[in-house]
Amino acid sequence: MTSKPDLTPEEFRRYGYQVIDWIAGYLDNAGSYPVLPAMQPGDLAAQLPAAAPEESETMDSILNDFDKLIVPALTHWNHPRFHAYFANSSTGPGILAEALCAAVNVNGMLWKSAPAATELEQVTLGWLRQWLGLPRDWFGIIYDTASISSMHAIAAAREMADPEIRRRGSAAGLVLYTSQHAHSSIEKAAITLGIGQDNVRKIPVDDQFRLQVADLKSAVEADAAVGKKPFCVVPTVGTTSTSSIDPVAAVAEIAEAHGMWMHVDAAYGGSAAVVPEYQQIVFDGVHRAHSLVVNPHKWLFTPMDISVFYTREPEILRRAFSLSAEYLKTAEDTSAVNYMDYGIQLGRRFRALKLWFVMRYFGHLKIAQMLRNHIEWAQRLTTLIRAHPDFEVVAPTPFSLICFRHRGTDEQNRALLERINATGKSFLSHTVLNGRYVLRLAIGNIATTWHDLEQTWKTIQNESHDTIHFHPENT
Amino acid sequence: MTSKPDLTPEEFRRYGYQVIDWIAGYLDNAGSYPVLPAMQPGDLAAQLPAAAPEESETMDSILNDFDKLIVPALTHWNHPRFHAYFANSSTGPGILAEALCAAVNVNGMLWKSAPAATELEQVTLGWLRQWLGLPRDWFGIIYDTASISSMHAIAAAREMADPEIRRRGSAAGLVLYTSQHAHSSIEKAAITLGIGQDNVRKIPVDDQFRLQVADLKSAVEADAAVGKKPFCVVPTVGTTSTSSIDPVAAVAEIAEAHGMWMHVDAAYGGSAAVVPEYQQIVFDGVHRAHSLVVNPHKWLFTPMDISVFYTREPEILRRAFSLSAEYLKTAEDTSAVNYMDYGIQLGRRFRALKLWFVMRYFGHLKIAQMLRNHIEWAQRLTTLIRAHPDFEVVAPTPFSLICFRHRGTDEQNRALLERINATGKSFLSHTVLNGRYVLRLAIGNIATTWHDLEQTWKTIQNESHDTIHFHPENT
């Protein structure tokens, strides 16, 4: 109908089908790529032109370059033996929803600017709240990442502690508490918000890497005694290094006694609460939180990016950020939620759509079963590693992340990790626990099977044999 | 190859083709939908189940609901007569890139976690930098929205002013300057960063809605005289209300004299700098900035969300945010850029891919011509409106946004806007200038033609006739 200078409908269909075919093949064969590309920094950039074209190029050449240049330079997060960081998943329904989201291209800043975006966000977050067993009256909002979700939590905490800060600036005297194993985004948020790193207390952890409540209590009391204002505490359900679970209920006691905002960082571990038999274990005490973050793009089979934030104090969150410019005022300002009032970002993609597709396509039972499998496989693999004389498991495995090491030196473990990853067959990452170099093996991809884990375990043992026994000069 | 519980490759193809067909039809017929849906808050939510399904649902039912329930509840940003806010564009190449981005689903936090994501971001931002005529050595990074880009700019400014704030917190004494017409995100960033609204000076504008340099100078001097620290100034190239262009070169003089960081908010207007004959006009003085934001998702035909940030002080930006956890350390930390070091968000979608597709598919000449058309049509329509005895144009039209009003009362203009939007044929928004209610008509969608603008102008005149002449009780 239109003569716009875009792909014609026929061209869009032709290249769209090609893209769909490519994706179908890719998702089916992700395991045939090296997980990590064998390349050095700059290798891809050197193959690309230094300037953009003046004239149009064809979709054929662009798609060809994608396949020939870009894909070989990717780390394959869809690979069933991607076990680094937290393994996540792209899924068919989520990908199709993202294509539709890009097509309708709405900005859900206001109800009026895209009513379906606002209402589907309310509905899907209501659904997820039920799956997670959270209180009915909690308000939900989607942000892009957990870093941003947690920053909003801490900003709301700041607003609760001192509503004048918004106007006056300067958060002098406010102190935030979290554990030594909290995600770096908590400290980054404190830097961003003007709290300052000096006012972040990183409470020591116990031998299972959980925040020590007695230390938290004395730190809070010591600060209060010298006139500082403890304003926020952030326990984690599923820390990044080891997936440990802080004692949320005991932390809540202290938060309540001192009038602090408690934000639970469950970006990774929160997803496990959709499995009925794990809900009480992983979310014990969470109903006492002021806010919670859980990332469906981590372990709920939804493509990047989508971070879900719940709070029982939406009015405080709104007060912390609301600023309404004349050009954004609408007749529905009092009768509908305008999500832009609850955050920093004015531009808001229609992220609820992919969560709605994923929750409906799989359903609660199937999603719970996938998570249950991941957790059970992690327990089984933990048992195998523990039984091997050369290896030790160095942290509990409450979810699907295993922390282990060869009984050799740190250097041997570092070399072992490099050799494993250089095979291209599996990709693991590392951390440091109690001063020792530790390997991390995360299970979270929808394509991963128990057979993949057996393969990875075989690769680990083979490479360990080569690294450690055949190369004594490394010891 | 795998037996994962996702769509099979055959199913993905079948439903993928359906989605592609739907998008092809939608983009071709976006003009056949009412731009604004005729609905009340809650209408969509009432049609959706209160709980997510326990069992799987079929893709057929999900896609059917998308078409039957979601789409009718959308505001159609792709409609060629969407003239509200800043009109933007989804395009075929951008949509296909988004599908591929969701499929590969990489997190570009580190070079190692997705080398192609990092290197393509460097390459495409180098290309765009050339199109915009920016200095060769400026560092580019992609964030999600201009709100976040500008917040990073102001955080870097804070770091430059006082590197101790990161550690100590409290930005007491720092003062930020912008105009009364700056985007609300600047003030929101000041709130977030602990600068405080009291320390944001909103400098008055001249009769063309441009920051008045004499007022800026005296405000800065007055603050400095009482011991405050002017640390940042944010001029705008294309303000949200009227698209006015602040005198960036003159602002730079003051910024340099006082050692302030100058951040240029060109989120909307910056795109016009890719048109050679407009570059000098819209970017006069911009090379003296410390940072600049321009949003390809606004006026460069790239789907939401992508905001491009350039700075000549990447080390200061990095110092403001860098925090490296052990589990994120890699062997390439010194030889490659890890973009996570330059921002708050750890999770980073592969956003460069869609910009690369769009820049290549259209090429510089065609993109420049589309923007040139939008600007020229805006001038032509401005002339028509100005010539009409009942209407007045109330601000200059430097880009493709027209601010105008009926010569009647504010109430009449408000009623006129409601009537225009209720037709479903065109969607305009409003602002308030010098205390008067003003209509905003933005041109930026790739599907818009001069014929659409004639239609919109006809609708405006028809509705104005009905509103104002036939309903004297409204006057």
Q: Which residues of chain A have pLDDT under 70?
A: 1-3, 468-475
For residue A151, give the nearest of A29, A247, A234 by alpha carbon: A234
Structure confidence at residue B470 (pLDDT): 52
pLDDT the model gives residue A1: 43
Buried residues in A185-217 as b, exposed as e (16+ CB within 10 A): bbbbbbbbbbbbbebbbbbebeeebbbbbebbb
Residue range A203-229, pLDDT digits in tens: 999 999 999 999 999 999 999 999 999
Chain B: give the shortest CA distance to residue A388, in Å. 25
Task: Fold for A107-349, please state it.
Answer: Aspartate Aminotransferase; domain 2 (3.40.640)
Chain B contacts of A3, Cβ < 8 Å? 449
- Determine if the pTM surpasses 0.90: yes
How close B52 gets to chain A, by Cα (Å)? 5
Q: What pLDDT does A475 receive? A: 41
| Contact by Cβ (8 Å): B255, B234 | no
Q: What is the pLDDT of residue A466?
A: 76
Residue of B55, B171, B353 lying closest to A169 (CB–CB): B171
Rounded to the nearest angstrom, the gap between the alpha carbon of residue A78 and the centroid of all alpha carbons in its chain is 15
Question: CB contact, 8 Å: B422 with chain A?
Answer: no
What pLDDT does residue A172 have?
Answer: 85
Residue B324, pLDDT above cutoff 90? no
Query: Of A202, A241, A204, whose CA–CA distance to A433 is shortest?
Result: A241
Q: With an 8 Å Cβ cutoff, is B334 touching chain A?
A: no
pLDDT of amino acid A3: 62
Helix (H, G, I), strand (E, B) or coil at B332: coil
Using DSSP bridges, classify how beta strands B174-179 and B229-234 pair: parallel, antiparallel or unpaired. parallel
- Fold equal for B1-36+75-89+363-475 and B107-349: no
Residue of A16, A77, A189 lying closest to B20 (CB–CB):
A16
| Nearest-neighbour CA in chain A from B30: distance (Å) | 9
Residue B396 has what DSSP assignment?
Answer: -
pLDDT at B323: 84
Calculate mean pLDDT across residues B75-79: 98
pLDDT-based confidence at residue B1 (cuts at 50, 70, 90): very low
Interface test with A, best of B12, B193, B328 (most A CBs within 10 A): B12
Is B17 close to A20, i.e. CB distance below 8 A?
yes
The answer to whether residue B2 scores a pLDDT higher than 80 is no
B297-310 tens-digit pLDDT: 999 999 999 999 99
Q: Note the pLDDT of residue B472.
A: 47
For chain B, the structural domain boundaries read: 1-36+75-89+363-475, 107-349
d(CA A437, nearest CA chain B) in Å:
10
CA distance B360 to A57: 6
SS (H, E, C) B397-415: CCCCEEEEEECCCHHHHHH
Contact between A12 and B24 using a beta-carbon 8 Å cutoff: yes
Q: What is the pLDDT, as a whole number, of residue A2? A: 47
Does the CB of B323 have a partner CB in chain A at under 8 Å?
A: yes
Mutate to test the interface with A, among B3, B17, B67, B100 (most CBs of A within 10 A): B100
Strand positions, DSSP E, B125-165 = 139-143
Name the residue with tokens 């408000």: B414
- Contact between A251 and A233 under an 8 Å Cβ cutoff? The reply is yes
In angstroms, what separates the C-alpha of A211 from chain B's closest C-alpha? 18
Q: What is the pLDDT of residues A142-180, one digit of tens each?
A: 999 999 999 999 999 999 999 999 999 987 899 999 999
ipTM tops the 0.90 cut: yes
Cα A295 from Cα A317, distance rounded (Å): 19
Whole-angstrom distance, CA of residue A201 vs CA of residue A219: 8
CB contact under 8 A, A112 and B75: yes
Supply the pLDDT for residue A472.
47
Are the beta carbons of A2 and B184 separated by less than 8 Å? Answer: no
Q: Give the residue on B whose Cα is nearest the Cα of A429.
A: B327
Facing A346 at nearest CB: one of B96, B123, B147: B147
- Note whether A435 contacts B: Cβ–Cβ < 8 A: no
Tell me the chain A residues in contact with residue B183 when contact means C-beta distances shorter than 8 Å: 325, 346
Superfamily of domain A1-36+75-89+363-475: Aspartate Aminotransferase, domain 1 (3.90.1150.10)
pLDDT at A43: 98
* Averaged pLDDT score across all residues of chain B: 95
Instruction: Give B401-453 pLDDT, tens digit per residue.
Output: 999 999 999 999 999 999 999 999 999 999 999 999 999 999 999 999 999 99
Which of A297, A298, A270 minimizes the C-alpha distance to A282?
Answer: A270
pLDDT digits (tens, 9 = 90+) for A324-380: 777 778 888 888 999 999 999 999 999 999 999 999 999 999 999 999 999 999 999
**Partner-chain contact B1 A31, CB within 8 Å:** yes
Q: Which is nearest to B105 in space by CA: A370, A91, A93?
A: A91
For residues B397 and B379, the answer to whether their CB atoms sit within 8 Å is: yes
pLDDT higher than threshold 80 for residue B474: no
pLDDT in tens, B102-129: 999 999 999 999 999 999 999 999 999 9
Task: Report the pLDDT value the prediction gives residue B469, as an integer from 0 to 100.
Answer: 62
Residue A160: other Cβ atoms inside 10 A: 19
A38 touches chain B (CB under 8 A): no
Contact A397/B at CB under 8 A:
no
